[in-house]
Structures are given as structure tokens and as C-alpha cells.
Amino acid sequence: MSSLNSELSPQVLAACQTGAAEAADAFGRCFDDKFELSPGEVVNLNAQDLPADWTGPGLVLVLTVDDNAAAVVIPEATSFLPSWYTTPDATGVSKLATLSQELGMLLLPEAQMPVDFTAGHVTNIGEALVRGGLSDAAAIPISIKSGNTTSTAHLLWPILYPKEVLAKPKAAEAAKPVAASAPPVAGAGNGPQRVRELEDALPTLPPYIRSLLRIKVSLSVTLAQTQQPVNRILELGPGSIIQFDKSCESPLTLFVGTSEVAVGEAVKVGEKFGLRITSMVMPDERFQPLQAKKRAG
């Protein structure tokens, strides 16, 4: 995998043109509306000459590729962003994360497939991008039509410090009065903020715990299962059809190792097969009976 740079402009533009229709569907699923996307030509951007509406708030999707990233920038002035995007609940967090992942797979070349996806509200788009190391960048304006309204988002790269884009401005953090701050509440805050807090806390964890987080586990999706006698299995060959009791419209099951963790529906992402998670499976509760000690007679 190679990093994103301006020399990849033709490949990125081609990916945007190919994936525009499916990217429009991804926007529709996230924002519950119907969209049409039309990528423009590649332009050059620098930190001193950003679009005027980037001085205000908006949604930024960060698509980390290798040691840098691309970003999809959607100013709040585009008017189609829902009010919930600034402080999304669990469903909203999931929608934005899914949108980031889908756009990363649809708008970037396969050789630069993102390995991490984050999304969040920023109060000043330009400052967030500069904080992320934006200097001279290539950008593709993307016309987004919703009903009679047409707005413009941008896909731009490279972002040198992806984690800094959605981080809180250090100056604002320093200006907060420490004495007046309220004690943290367990579970408080929106999803993206909790993720960033977790990332900040990782270096403070004991080494043996950090090593556990790097362990790779198998992820598998099961369509259906059945049992067949051995003599039937021995008869299987090219062209054989195995019938299952499960309906073709039934949800698929996601396993981590041998544990069922979620169910979802099959989706097509570009030329790839994907799974959109619709619900999580709670682990079985286990109870250990307690036996009272026998008293001596």
C-alpha cells in the first residue's frame, strides 16, 4: 500500500467517477434522503487559500490510508446535514462511521484502500485541516444534489496527521478553567469523543493489555448452516446444489472466532462484498450457583 500524494490524482478522480452512484446511495442511507453526486476536476488547495465556507462548522470524514489520509469535507452551509450530526447518538455514530467506511472504499483507488475511518463535527473546517497538517493538497469538488438544492463537498489529500483533524484544539483546552470543570460521568459524551479518549488512554495502559489489543482474530460471516450425512457429502461436486432452510432474505450472522457477535445484511461496496450490521448480539449470561456451607451438627 502506498501513501496518498498529488501524483495519484488521475487514479483518485477515476475512482470517484466510478463510485459516484454508490457513494450517493451511501449518503442517502446516512442522511435519510436521496442524493446525486457529480465529481469535478482535480484542483490544488493550500492552507492560505481555502474556500470561504471552510471558516465555519461542518462534517469531516477522515480516511486514513497508511501514514497519511484523505478527508471528505462537508460544510454545514451545504444545508443537507441534519442537526444530529454535531452530537450524534449511538445510531448516528454508527451511521457516520459506516458512511466514512463506504466513501473510503468507493472514492479512493483500491491500492490506497483506507485502514481506518473516523468522522465528526468541527467548529472550523479550515483550522481542523491545518491542525491535521494540510499544506499543499489536491482536491476534487463533489457536487451533491438533494431535491432542488445543490451543494459542494470536497475530497482532498494528503492529510499528514489524521488523528489531529478531529482532536480538540489545544488552545481551547488550555483556556478551560480547571476548577470549574465538572467531574466526568461514566458513559457520557458522544461516540467519536469516547473513541478519541480511548486512543489517548491507550499509551497509559499496561504493556500486557496493549499487546492484547494487537492480537488478530478471525471475522467470518455465515449465510446458513445444515447437516448432511457423510455419504451425501462424498457425492458433492461441481454443479451440486445444497439446500438450506434459511430464507435468502434472512440476516447474516457475524462471528468473531466462534462467538456470534452481530447480525446484518449483505451490501455491495464497489466490486466488494460487505456486511452492514443491523444489530448486536448480547453475550449469554452465565450464572454460577452458590452453595451454602453445611453447618457442623
Strand partners, 151: 144
pTM reported for the whole predicted model: 0.64
One of 1.20.1370.20, 1.10.150.120, 3.90.120.10, 3.40.1550.10 is the CATH number of 6-168, namely 3.40.1550.10
- Name the residue ranges covered by the structural domains of the chain: 6-168, 219-231+246-280
Backbone angles phi, psi at 205, to 5 degrees: -75, 155
Per residue in 134-155, pLDDT (tens digit) is: 888 899 999 999 888 899 999 9
Per residue in 57-79, pLDDT (tens digit) is: 999 999 998 778 999 999 998 87
Per residue in 216-272, pLDDT (tens digit) is: 888 899 888 888 889 888 888 888 888 888 887 888 999 998 888 899 988 877 677
Per residue in 26-59, pLDDT (tens digit) is: 999 999 999 999 999 999 988 888 888 899 999 9
Angle (CA) 98-269-86 rounded to 5° is 20
Return the sign of the alpha-carbon dihedral for residues 68, 165, 13, 95: positive
